């Protein structure tokens, strides 16, 4: 009797984040079967990154594209060693750090669509095939002039926010593209396609250029979040022929094709394995966390972000509105703070002998409120959250759901509980972005309502606000608000 072919019953999720590529496989009941990660600085030292990036001149911050490609080969190998049977993967999806852009050189599609399974991926897609071998990433702040120009051309910061969900931000891809267009016309002219990090990672698995999804596409200052298409005036303000360079955006739950034959031959994937559009890491975390009414997610990764799901977006001059990664008729509101884990690591190394345990002890032995001194993104977030629809503490039955590498630090979570004046919960998987990839893969494969396919995960109460938190932090948040207003007035921004 012939053996039955293995069932397509598992789902694979990736996350191409700032410091590492992570991947995990889940069973049909959503249980995590295998997990693996490749840390750029320590496991791919030949690329000489620090925190996954290279600091350049004039505020430029980039990452080598080939480092990401090599990490994909390695992470798949690690999964295989951990016992993954790729032939059972029914669908895969994933996420990438937001806003970064990958510039494919003219003629590269030919290589991408004809990958040789006998060779390493990074030997075939080498740096000569990218018109910018080092991709600009979300930490890049070199585009202040382009931001000013975009807001002027679109009729002001608020109008741009009404259209694209955000005023102009240096890291947003449209402004990054505008800078290359004006300062490096040769590079621009030599490019046949521009991907986000998410759609680039998806392209690697698809073996062809994958479309940008609506949710990550909302972080570009180019997409009209109301019509769900590129906005013509934004495109024109940032470059020439951009509609064709970017391709058409698609809803995040789109099946974009079958996995490339490269992975069928090299890793034993089924030729029927579906590839679902990848999205941004924060949207992907939202998909994993299944945020309910009153839930606010706090992601403590390389950057710190705060986000929630909403049906009534109110784009303002602070924060971002993205199309939801789950349902293109819904939205997600987000605040992002770049001084997250790397800043905390700096403090740990300077004041706590490089030990998170000592860091936590010091934090716990400092009186609540730190004698009125303010700093750190978790503290600042409490003041800024008003721009997303009211103070978290005043929301009925609010929960703060923490994720990301630093969410395992109880002392930090206590500060979050006190500042937000709400209980803080954690999931048992801190790698929520990759998990969201696997969940979205399953949803797109199965179809139907997201909440029917992906039941709410179990959360564990990590900590509750201290009794005196509202007295201490309430006053500090008022002071923080006053400082911000003063600074804005002095800078002429209001
Ligand atoms: N015990 C800890 N306390 C505070 N931060 C931690 C702890 N363990 C890990 N981290 C932080 O987690 C960060 C990585 O988080 P992660 O969510 O994986 O980042 P990213 O997805 O951006 O690559 C590290 O930079 C590290 O500073
Ligand atoms: O720029 C943003 C969001 O707007 C960042 O949140 C990036 O998406 C990087 O994510 P992490 O690697 O810190 O998770």
SS (H, E, C) 352-364: CCCCHHHHHHHHH
Q: Does residue 1 lie in a domain region?
A: no
Q: Computed from CA positions of residues 450, 454, 458, 463, in that sequence, does the dihedral angle turn out positive or negative?
A: negative
Any atom of ligand 1 within 6 Å of the Cβ of 95: no
Q: Residues 377, 332, 337, CA angle at the centre, nearest 5°?
A: 15
Query: Rounded to the nearest 10 degrees, what angle do helices 144-154 and 157-164 cross at?
Result: 90
* Nearest CA residue ID for atom 6, ligand 2: 303
Q: Domain check: are 68 and 167 in the same one?
A: yes
Q: Domain check: are 470 and 400 in the same one?
A: yes
C-alpha to C-alpha distance for 168 and 158, rounded to whole angstroms: 9
C-alpha to C-alpha distance for 247 and 268, rounded to whole angstroms: 30
Structure tokens at 401: 């759901």
ipTM: 0.98
Q: Domain check: are 22 and 52 in the same one?
A: yes
Structure tokens at 314: 């109110």
Q: Domain check: are 333 and 466 in the same one?
A: yes
Any atom of ligand 1 within 6 Å of the Cβ of 284: no
408 C-alpha to ligand 1 centroid (Å):
9
Provide the pLDDT for residue 389.
Answer: 38
315 phi/psi in degrees, rounded to 5: -60, 135
The last residue of a domain, from among 281, 310, 336: 281
Q: Domain check: are 320 and 264 in the same one?
A: no
Give the SS3 label for residue 41: helix
Any atom of ligand 1 within 6 Å of the Cβ of 356: yes
For tokens 């750029």, what's the residue? 40
Provide the pLDDT for residue 372.
Answer: 74
404 C-alpha to ligand 1 centroid (Å):
6
- For residue 97, give the nearest of 355, 439, 340 by alpha carbon: 340
Q: 402's torsion region: left (phi>0), alpha (psi -120 to 50) or beta?
A: beta
Number of domains in the chain: 2
240 C-alpha to ligand 1 centroid (Å):
39
CA distances from 86 to 12, 92, 190 (A): 9, 11, 37
Any atom of ligand 1 within 6 Å of the Cβ of 20: yes
Q: Domain check: are 379 and 259 in the same one?
A: no
- For residue 405, give the nearest of 307, 336, 334, 302 by alpha carbon: 302
C-alpha to C-alpha distance for 3 and 85, rounded to whole angstroms: 16
Q: Does residue 56 lie in a domain region?
A: yes
Any atom of ligand 1 within 6 Å of the Cβ of 265: no
Structure tokens at 468: 């005196």
138 C-alpha to ligand 2 centroid (Å):
7
**Do residues 163 and 234 lie in contact, with contact meaning Cβ atoms separated by under 8 Å?**
yes
Q: Does residue 2 lie in a domain region?
A: no
302 C-alpha to ligand 1 centroid (Å):
7
Indicate which CATH number applies to the domain containing 209: 3.30.420.40
C-alpha to C-alpha distance for 289 and 307, rounded to whole angstroms: 11
The last residue of a domain, from among 281, 313, 335: 281
- For residue 164, give the nearest of 322, 350, 334 by alpha carbon: 322
Provide the pLDDT for residue 164.
Answer: 98
The last residue of a domain, from among 281, 299, 314: 281
- For residue 358, give the nearest of 415, 299, 409 by alpha carbon: 409
Q: Does residue 4 lie in a domain region?
A: no
The helix or strand, by DSSP H or E, that contains position 280, with its residue range, turns out to be strand 279-280
Relative to the CA of 138, which ligand 2 atom is closest? 1
305 C-alpha to ligand 2 centroid (Å):
7
Render each residue's pLDDT in the chain as its tens digit; 494 residues: 666 666 899 999 999 999 999 999 999 999 999 999 999 999 999 999 999 999 999 999 999 999 999 999 999 999 999 999 999 999 999 999 999 999 999 999 999 999 999 999 999 999 999 999 999 999 999 999 999 999 999 999 999 999 999 999 999 999 999 999 999 999 999 999 999 999 999 999 999 999 999 999 999 999 999 999 999 999 999 999 999 999 999 999 999 999 999 999 999 999 999 999 999 999 999 999 998 888 999 999 999 999 999 998 899 999 999 999 999 999 999 999 988 999 999 999 999 999 999 999 999 998 887 777 766 656 586 555 544 433 455 556 789 999 999 999 999 999 999 989 999 999 988 689 999 999 999 999 999 999 999 999 989 999 999 998 888 887 777 777 777 677 656 655 54
Q: Domain check: are 471 and 388 in the same one?
A: yes
Q: Domain check: are 93 and 209 in the same one?
A: yes
Q: Does residue 377 lie in a domain region?
A: yes
Provide the pLDDT for residue 479.
Answer: 74
Q: Domain check: are 270 and 313 in the same one?
A: no
DSSP character for 128? G
Q: Residues 383, 459, 452, CA angle at the centre, nearest 5°?
A: 105
Whose atoms come closest to the Cα of 20: which ligand? 1
Q: Does residue 430 lie in a domain region?
A: yes
C-alpha to C-alpha distance for 389 and 394, rounded to whole angstroms: 10
Q: Domain check: are 223 and 306 in the same one?
A: no
Any atom of ligand 1 within 6 Å of the Cβ of 345: yes
C-alpha to C-alpha distance for 80 and 97, rounded to whole angstroms: 25
C-alpha to C-alpha distance for 21 and 33, rounded to whole angstroms: 17
- Of how many residues is the chain composed? 494
- For residue 173, give the nearest of 91, 264, 262, 234 by alpha carbon: 234
Provide the pLDDT for residue 494.
Answer: 43
Q: 189's torsion region: left (phi>0), alpha (psi -120 to 50) or beta?
A: alpha
C-alpha to C-alpha distance for 167 and 162, rounded to whole angstroms: 8
Q: Pairing mode, if any, of strands 32-39 and 459-463?
A: unpaired
Q: Domain check: are 239 and 327 in the same one?
A: no
- For residue 186, give the nearest of 248, 110, 106 by alpha carbon: 106
344 C-alpha to ligand 1 centroid (Å):
9
C-alpha to C-alpha distance for 390 and 308, rounded to whole angstroms: 12
Domain that holds residue 415: 289-490
Q: Which residues pair with residue 63 across a beta bridge?
A: 135
Q: Does residue 28 lie in a domain region?
A: yes
CB atoms within 10 A of CB 308: 24
Give the SS3 label for residue 191: strand
Q: Computed from CA positions of residues 249, 253, 256, 260, in that sequence, does the dihedral angle turn out positive or negative?
A: positive
Q: Does residue 110 lie in a domain region?
A: yes
CB atoms within 10 A of CB 339: 14
Question: Which residues form ligand 2's pocket by a CB distance below 6 Å?
Answer: 17-18, 97-99, 138, 171, 219, 280-282, 301-303, 305, 336
C-alpha to C-alpha distance for 320 and 296, rounded to whole angstroms: 15
274 C-alpha to ligand 1 centroid (Å):
31
CB atoms within 10 A of CB 397: 10
Relative to the CA of 17, which ligand 2 atom is closest? 12
Q: Domain check: are 411 and 322 in the same one?
A: yes
Provide the pLDDT for residue 124.
Answer: 98
Any atom of ligand 1 within 6 Å of the Cβ of 19: yes
Relative to the CA of 169, which ligand 2 atom is closest? 4
């Amino acid at each position: 009797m012939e053996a039955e072919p293995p069932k397509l019953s598992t789902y694979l999720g990736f996350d191409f984040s700032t410091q590492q590529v992570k991947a995990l496989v889940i069973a049909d009941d959503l249980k995590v079967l295998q997990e693996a990660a490749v840390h750029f600085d320590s496991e791919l030292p030949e690329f000489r990154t620090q925190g996954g990036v290279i600091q350049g001149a004039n505020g430029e911050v980039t990452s080598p594209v080939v480092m990401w490609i090599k990490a994909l080969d390695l992470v798949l190998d690690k999964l295989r060693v951990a016992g993954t049977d790729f032939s059972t993967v029914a669908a895969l999806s994933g996420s990438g750090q937001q806003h970064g852009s990958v510039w494919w050189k003219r003629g590269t599609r030919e290589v991408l669509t004809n990958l040789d399974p006998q060779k390493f991926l990074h030997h075939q897609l080498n740096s000569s095939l990218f018109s910018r071998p080092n991709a600009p990433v979300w930490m890049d702040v070199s585009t202040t002039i382009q931001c000013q120009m975009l807001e002027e051309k679109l009729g002001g910061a608020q109008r741009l926010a009404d259209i694209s969900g955000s005023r102009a931000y240096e890291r947003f891809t449209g402004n990054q593209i505008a800078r290359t267009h004006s300062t490096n016309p040769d590079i621009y002219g030599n490019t046949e396609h521009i991907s986000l990090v998410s759609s680039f990672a998806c392209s690697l698995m698809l073996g062809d250029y994958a479309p940008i999804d609506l949710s990550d596409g909302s972080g570009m200052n180019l997409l009209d979040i109301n019509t769900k298409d590129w906005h013509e005036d934004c495109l024109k303000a940032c470059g020439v022929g951009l509609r064709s360079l970017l391709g058409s955006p698609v809803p995040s739950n789109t099946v974009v094709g079958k996995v490339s034959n490269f992975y069928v031959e090299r890793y034993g994937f089924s030729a029927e394995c579906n590839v679902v559009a990848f999205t941004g890491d924060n949207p992907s975390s939202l998909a994993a966390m299944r945020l309910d009414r009153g839930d606010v997610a706090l992601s403590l990764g390389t950057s710190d972000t705060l986000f929630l799901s909403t049906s009534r977006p109110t784009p303002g001059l602070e924060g971002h509105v993205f199309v939801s990664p789950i349902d293109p008729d819904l939205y997600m509101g987000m605040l992002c703070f770049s001084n997250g884990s790397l800043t905390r690591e700096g403090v740990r190394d300077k004041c706590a002998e490089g030990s998170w345990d000592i860091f936590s002890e010091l934090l716990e032995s400092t009186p609540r409120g730190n004698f009125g001194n303010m700093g750190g993104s978790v503290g600042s977030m409490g003041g800024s959250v008003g721009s997303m629809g009211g103070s978290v503490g005043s929301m009925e039955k609010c929960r703060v759901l923490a994720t990301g590498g630093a969410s395992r630090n109880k002392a930090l979570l206590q500060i979050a509980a006190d500042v937000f004046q709400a209980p803080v919960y954690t999931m048992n998987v801190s790698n929520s972005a990759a998990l969201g990839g696997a969940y979205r893969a399953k949803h797109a494969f199965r179809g139907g309502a997201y909440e029917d396919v992906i039941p709410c995960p179990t959360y564990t109460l990590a900590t509750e606000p201290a009794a005196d938190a509202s007295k201490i932090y309430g006053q500090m948040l008022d002071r923080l608000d006053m400082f911000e207003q003063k600074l804005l007035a002095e800078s002429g921004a209001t």
